[in-house]
Structure 1
Amino acid sequence: MEQSKPTSFSIRHHSVVRNTLLRWWQSMVLSKDELKKTDIYPAPSGVKARLKRCDSVDSVMMTEGFRLLWMALPEAFTGQAKPQDIECWATIAAALVYISAESETSFARAAGKKGDNDKSAVSEMRFAQLQAAKTPDEFLRRLRRILQQVKGKVSPLALAQDIEQWSQEHDSMRLHKADKRIAVQWAMDYYRAAGH
């Protein structure tokens, strides 16, 4: 069967959505001095910390940090959003606050990259547990652990796209081509990075 088609407001296919997400993330993590060079205002005090303390996707949805992101997205998207869209974006918000600096490195490559001890930053077992997550809460919990292990040095937009794809696959009843599934793409990137 064929992979589900992306919505017109997917991160990958809509530059306004990407820009909105990146600006929101920058408002959360960049210092006031770094933000002075832009036209972005810093997030209110404590917003990032409250997002980090959320223990479920549902609790993320009730935070000011998530509200700031959701309300900044195009109204044409938020007005037609389904519950799974809100859940997906709450997961994105809760994960992105663990990214400390912009990087070109994909999430799976950062996890598979070998360090000084010739071991991957994240063990195969921990990465496999993420791959096997059955619920958004489990997925978010395992994702956050790995982001902490890689010290938050991954591409925020690439990670958001991965989360969006995971969410679409999780919510879809259709089968996906193996090479298009996020679990397969992550495994390939993880092992490529571990091999170097």
Structure 2
Amino acid sequence: MSEASEADSSQEWLVVDDQELKSLAALSLDEAVAVRRWWQRLALSPVELKQLTPQPGLPRGVRAALRRCDTPDAALLTQAFRELWHLLPEATVESPFIEAQLEKWSCIALVLAELRNETPGKALAARLGQQASTGKPIMSELRFQQILTCRTPEELVQRLRRALALAGRSEMSAVRLADVVALWWREYSGEISARPTHRFGFMLANDYFGAAASYRHEDT
């Protein structure tokens, strides 16, 4: 490996650390790096962004236009999606299943556009299972179960957008959020992991009920 390649690899590990990478079930390292770099440019203020990367942020209206999209097809036509697509590795954008890749990544873009602030490493479901001011989880078990049973991409995007609104659009990892969407898509396409711990339902339920158990146990 050349010195330049080693430097690039080192930079990737700074963007997505080893612990976060190990938590991923459906994204590659290159995809995870692209997701975080894109989200940072999309959502962070110039001051925040300058501390993380020399890359300029995207115009504010770019994110707003993506958030106004109601469908994955509409998201495909936005500048925000094009910026994400151009950051993705060649193996992704040159896939023989290009139509499915485009729809999957448009769903990822739609969901990530709702995230205002992130906590690297923290899972969406763990955030939803946190204790709210009512003493109950931020998202009720009934609504959480509805995420687990989504049948269409449109339904998944709709429910995840609602979940992010309930969670204050903050305190979760952009990379892990994208991984949730990618994992759902993998199973939607008929690819079920042989490892139960890398399946959509198990991963989300484990994070959600694990977070809820931490304070429910204290109350007993």
**Pairing 1:32–2:32 present:** no
1:146 to 147, 163, 169: 163
The residue number in structure 2 matching 1:90 is 106
Change (3 A) 1:84 1:112: same
Q: Which moved more, 1:175-184 or 1:79-88?
A: 175-184
Q: Distance in 1 between matches of 2:34 and 2:90?
A: 12
Find the partner of 2:64 among 44, 49, 65. 49
The residue type equivalent to 2:185 in the other structure is: S
- Per the TM alignment, residue 156 of structure 1 is displaced from its structure 2 partner at its CA by 0.6
Partner residue of 1:63? 78
Give 1:178 shift. 4.4
Runs of 4+ aligned residues of structure 1 deviating over 6 Å after TM superposition are none
1:148 Cα offset (Å): 0.9
Q: C-alpha separation between the residues in 2 aligned to 1:11 and 1:127?
A: 20
Q: Secondary structure at the residue paired with 1:184? A: helix
Partner of 2:19 in structure 1? none
CA distance in 2, matches of 1:11, 1:67: 24
- Contact 1:110–1:150 (Cα < 8 Å) also in 2: yes
Rounded Cα–Cα distance in structure 1 between residues aligned with 2:54 and 2:106: 25
Task: Indicate yes or no: 2:183 matched with 1:183.
Answer: no
Q: Which moved more, 1:20-29 or 1:75-84?
A: 75-84
| Structure 1 residues 47 and 130: alpha-carbon distance in aligned structure 2, compared to 1, 3 A threshold | same
Match of 2:142 in 1: 125
Is the 8 Å Cα contact of residues 11 and 17 (structure 1) preserved in structure 2? no
Higher mean displacement: 175-184 or 35-44 = 175-184
Among all aligned residue pairs of Structure 1 and Structure 2, give the percentage whose two residues are the same amino acid. 33
Give the alignment's TM-score, normalised by structure 1.
0.87
8 Å contact 1:99–1:147 — kept in the other structure? yes
Per-residue CA deviations over 1:135-189 (Å, capped at 9, x if unaligned) read 0000000000001111122111111111111100011166866443211211121
Residue-by-residue CA offset, 1:76-124 (whole Å, 9 max, x unaligned):
4212252221111111111111111121321000011112321100011
TM-score w.r.t. length of structure 2: 0.78
Considering fraction of residues, name the structure with more helix: 2
Q: Deviations over 1:49-83 (max 9, x none)?
A: 11111111111111111011001212342122522
Task: Call closer, same or farther: CA 1:151–1:19 in 2, change over 3 Å.
Answer: same
Q: 1:173 to 1:192 in 2, by over 3 A?
A: closer
Structure with the larger RCO, 1 or 2 (CA within 8 Å, 6+ apart): 1
Residue number in structure 2 paired with 1:99: 115
Aligned CA RMSD, in angstroms, stands at: 2.0
